Every structure is written in C-alpha cells, then in structure tokens.
Amino acid sequence: MDAESYIGHVFKDKELLRTALTHSSYANEKHTKNNERLEFLGDSVLSLIISDYIFHKMRNVNEGDLSKFRATLVCEGSLAEVAKKINLSGLIMLGKGEEMTGGRRRPSVISDAFEAVLGAIYLDSDLETARRWVLRLMTDRIELVLSGGLYADYKTTLQEWVQRDGKSAVTYSTIRTEGSEHSRRFTVQVEINGIPQETASGKSKKEAEQRAAELLLKKLKK
C-alpha cells in the first residue's frame, strides 16, 4: 500500500506529499526540503478546523474551556495517537541518526509530520477537503474530549496533590527554547519547593508545563 492510500488523499502535486513526509534530519543528509514550513501551515489549519468544530458543538462553553479542549486535541500526544490510524510513523523519511535514536517513535516527530501532511492537503486542494480529512480521523477523539473522557488538567491536579499539607509550592521554569520562529519547542522544569522534579517539552510553554505535571503526578502516585 502506498503513502496516499494510508493517508487517504490522492495528491495532484506529489512533491507536496514527499516534502510533508521529509524530516529535517533526512533533508539535511539529502540536501532537500524538509516539512517544517508545511508543519507551520498545517498547525494553523488544524487550529482553525478544531476551533470551528468545538465552537459550534459546545455553544454554552466559555472561551477558557474551549481553549483547554483545543489544547488537549492538538497537543503532540493527541496527534501522535491519531496518526497511528494512517501509519504515519512508518511513512516519515528520517536521517540515519534520527532513526537510530528512536525518532520514528517520538511524538514530536510524528505530530509535526501530521500537521505537515495536513498543510500539504490544504495546499493541494482547499480548506473543506482539509476539514473533512481532519474530522474523518479525529471526530471520535474530539467527542471523547468534549465529553470529558480524555481531558485532564494535570497542572491543577498536581497543585491539589502537593498542597494537601498546605506547605508545598509548585513552580515551573522554562529551561530551554529551541527551533526556528515557526517551529519553536519549549522545555520546562517543574519544581516542588524549589527542588527540580521533572522536565518535559512541547510546542508551547503551556503544553510543556502540562506534560511535566503529568510526569510528576505519575511518579508521585507510584
């Protein structure tokens, strides 16, 4: 089965698909274009599609909760899970080093490729085609999140967990910022009473903080 069959879109411009599946590590080795610009575009297209869907679906929900729902749906972990439906990790072209260090299983690599493919579909067709593609893959997950089946505010849960004695304080600090302007990655460290506990990365500080809080909660609950 070829890549288009897995993805579920026949491209008029085959080069768009090839670029969408080209990780920067492979592009550097082969001196070709990578998928970062398409990922930048796909990120915005995805945000619009998800925002429009939940805006009309959840008519009595305030802006803050809509933002939380959207963040849960478009985070790295969520997109990496959705990408399994189209075997996306197996289609990505990686450099030798990235392949050897487990890049094919890395949520950030897979989610970036998912957004790049969406950007490519949008350019190859139109917004309505991109919308149908996203909703075909994500509607079941969207409905689960909106019903409360997946949404978790790990930062709030962690705050409640450590403050049971009324003395512990949770803080977050950004320890590293990487990537180009349109493909930024933040690494955040969570601390309890000033003592470093866990670190995690994400496309935004909020996502990185949530992931760091999730990791620490798992450790504390063992």
| Selection from 180, 163, 174 nearest residue 199 by Cα | 174
Active-site residue, selected from the candidate residues 36, 39, 43, 209: 43
User: Which DSSP category does 142 fall into?
Assistant: H
| Selection from 178, 7, 8, 13 nearest residue 92 by Cα | 7
Active-site residue, selected from the candidate residues 39, 98, 112, 115: 115
31 backbone φψ class: left, alpha, beta (φ>0; ψ -120 to 50): left
**DSSP helix/strand/coil, 34:** coil
- Catalytic-residue membership of 81: no
DSSP β-bridge partners for residue 1: none
Amino acid at 189: Q
- Catalytic-residue membership of 43: yes
Catalytic residues: 43, 115
